[in-house]
Amino acid sequence: MKERCAEARMLAADSDLVMAAESGAVSAEILKVIRAGFESPRPGEQIAAAVELRAETARTFGAERLAPLVAHLKERLTALEGPAAAALGEAGGGEAGGGEAGGGEDAGGDKAALLGQALSLLERLKLSYGFISERDAIVDRIRRGCLLILGGMFLALTAVAGIWALLGRGSVSADGLLLVNSLLNYFMLMAVAAAGAVVSIMQRTGVQGSLGAGGRDPVAQISALRQGISGVLVAGLVGPTLAVLLVPLFASGAFKVEAITPDFVDGCTAGGGPMANFKLIDHCLSLKSGFDAARLVVWAFLAGFAERLVPDVLDRVVGAARGRSESA
């Protein structure tokens, strides 16, 4: 038998399957299905098979064994989904305890009620455990995608910086040095924006990962997380694109807030620092000071972190332009 995930082993050990097969308590057809689930490479299917094995063995229990099993399952459900969610299960199976007062003649009905409650609780646990397993797998893929995006951007930045260092200031023309210097600056802004997008996605997936299984509909939450996989690629493209757009936005003066937005001056010098120059079509712009460079880097990070920040700024610029045109 293949190595199973830790969650499935905690729910049902391999020896449980062997004992069930040797005792004959579970039919051969059901054992075949459960064994196939145990050997599946997907943790969710292994968990479902383990819970199903528990459900099949519970069918052979008497009332004296089903009562503590139901109490145990309620405790696990309470720990997993919270007291409010577990209370729903108690409301649905409250009639199970009523048989105890009826005497021995109600033992059959009491067993049926306890078995129904146990199977219901096991089914809810199977759904919750399977959902958690799938959710964690998707969150892990999203985080790996974030790291790939961030690593790719920094590798590109390192490559441009390496080219800039290899060429040297005296081995190329002033225009060539300005071009490489400008590319390095743009790539730096894109990498910072990608880092902002990665931090934002990491925080959101962390919130999703901390939600209990009963926090919202499991199917809807898994669907939303699957959409988040493609959202990683979109964020990796949108954030750097908006960061590049910041340069002409601030340089044009269309959006300006004192002490917050960076200031640019027209023209570049070959002797400028690594954050001084930005080529824009056939012109060149320079940041006025190191403080302006710091502001631009912060704005680039925010452009990736807060996806609506730059579009909202553009909406304000368009609104102001419309107001001026209407007043004219």
pLDDT digits (tens, 9 = 90+) for 32-53: 888 888 888 888 888 888 888 8
pLDDT at 85: 58
pLDDT band at 105 (very low <50, low <70, confident <90, very high): very low
Q: Which residue has the higher pLDDT, 244 or 222?
A: 244
Q: Please state, rounded to an integer, the average pLDDT across all residues of the chain.
A: 74
- CB contact at 8 A, 320 and 255: no
pLDDT band at 84 (very low <50, low <70, confident <90, very high): low
Give the mean model confidence (pLDDT) for residues 306-311. Answer: 65
pLDDT band at 102 (very low <50, low <70, confident <90, very high): very low
DSSP string computed for 188-206: HHHHHHHHHHHHHHHHHHH
- CB contact at 8 A, 229 and 142: yes
pLDDT band at 98 (very low <50, low <70, confident <90, very high): very low
β-pair type (277-280, 264-266): unpaired
Give the mean model confidence (pLDDT) for residues 96-106. Answer: 45
Which tokens is 12 given?
A: 């049902």
Residue 317 has pLDDT above 70, yes or no: no
* Radius of gyration from C-alpha coordinates of the chain: 31
Q: Where are the domains of the chain?
A: 6-131, 136-327
DSSP string computed for 122-153: HHHHHHHHHHHHHHHHHHHHHHHHHHHHHHHH
Predicted model pTM: 0.60
Give the mean model confidence (pLDDT) for residues 70-90. Answer: 73
pLDDT, one tens digit per residue, over 125-168 is 888 888 888 777 877 887 787 788 778 877 877 776 777 677 65
pLDDT at 153: 75
Residue 29 has pLDDT above 50, yes or no: yes
Whole-angstrom distance, CA of residue 228 vs CA of residue 235: 10
- CB contact at 8 A, 265 and 285: yes
Residue 6 has pLDDT above 80, yes or no: no
The sign of the dihedral angle between the CA atoms of 39, 43, 47, 52 is: negative
pLDDT band at 4 (very low <50, low <70, confident <90, very high): low
Give the mean model confidence (pLDDT) for residues 220-240. Answer: 72
- CB contact at 8 A, 203 and 168: no
